[in-house]
Amino acid sequence: MPRILVVDDEIHIRMLYARELEDEGYDVAVAATPEEALRALRVSRPDLVVLDIELEDSNGLDLLNRIRQEFRDLFVVINSAYSTYKADFQTWLADAYIMKSSDLKPLKEKVRQLLTEGACDRTI
């Protein structure tokens, strides 16, 4: 069963995503901070990370950098309320950039695509 780590400082987002992704058949772990996320990455070695950028007191892009240094083959989907970060070249390190929405279909579709079809070109 593919493992997914959801990194978001909003507890209800974490709850929602965990539930939706579990319903899709994934093993889901959640983290509220970069530290928690790194710990989870080292322990549970997930296949994909859903990463928010605006984290409380920290920046998801810094975490993305760390992930790319330590876990090169890990898929990362940026999931942000801000479209402006699309222009930030740091986000190009991720495999996908999906805007936050109550309609989780695009996110789930991208996760499925990455995990089944492998790494593909980053889609904005």
Partner 1 sequence: MIAVDYAARTEARREGGFLDYTLSNQVGLFVVDTEGRLRNVNNRAAAIFGFSDSPDADGRPVSQLEFFFSQAVIERLLRLLSDGEPFTVSCFPGTNLAGHFAYYRLSCNRAEENGRAIGVFGVIEDVSEQARQQQELRSRVDELSTLAQISQVVSSALDTEEVLKVILIGVTARQGLGFNRAFLFLLDDDGKILSGRLAIGPTNAEEAGKIWSSLEHDNRSLSEILSLYQEESERSNRNLTDLIRGTRIDISNGSLFAQAMKNQTPIVVEYDTELDYVTDRILHRLGEKRVAMTPLVSRGKPIGLLVVDNAITRKEITDHDRQFLKLIADQTAAAVERSYLYRDLKDRARELEEINRKLAETQNQIIEAEKMSVIGEITSAVAHELRNPLTIIGGFAHLMYKNLEPGSPDGEYLNIIVSETQRAEAVVTDVLDFSRASKTRDRLLDLNSLVRTALEMLKVRLGQGQCQIQLTTEPFELPLWGNPDQLMHALYQVFWSLIQDLPCEVPRINTFAQDGTVRLEVAFARDGGHQDKVDKVLKQYFCGGSSSKRLSLIVAEETLKHHGGSLTVESNHADGPVLLVLLPLYKEKLNAQNSGG
Question: Shortest gap between Cβ of 104 and partner 1 (angstroms)?
Answer: 6
Residue closer to partner 1 (CB basis): 13 or 41: 13
Instruction: Confirm if 89 and 117 have CB atoms less than 8 A apart.
Output: no
Question: Shortest gap between Cβ of 59 and partner 1 (angstroms)?
Answer: 15
Residue 67 CA neighbour count, 13 Å, CB half = 34
Residue 105 CA to residue 90 CA, distance in Å, equals: 25
Question: Shortest gap between Cβ of 25 and partner 1 (angstroms)?
Answer: 14
Q: To which residue do tokens 């090169």 refer?
A: 72
Binding stretches for partner 1 (CB under 8 A): 10, 12-13, 16, 19-20, 23, 54, 81-84, 100-104
Residue closer to partner 1 (CB basis): 73 or 103: 103
Residue 25 CA to residue 11 CA, distance in Å, equals: 21
Residue closer to partner 1 (CB basis): 69 or 102: 102
What six digits make up the tokens of 11? Answer: 């507890």
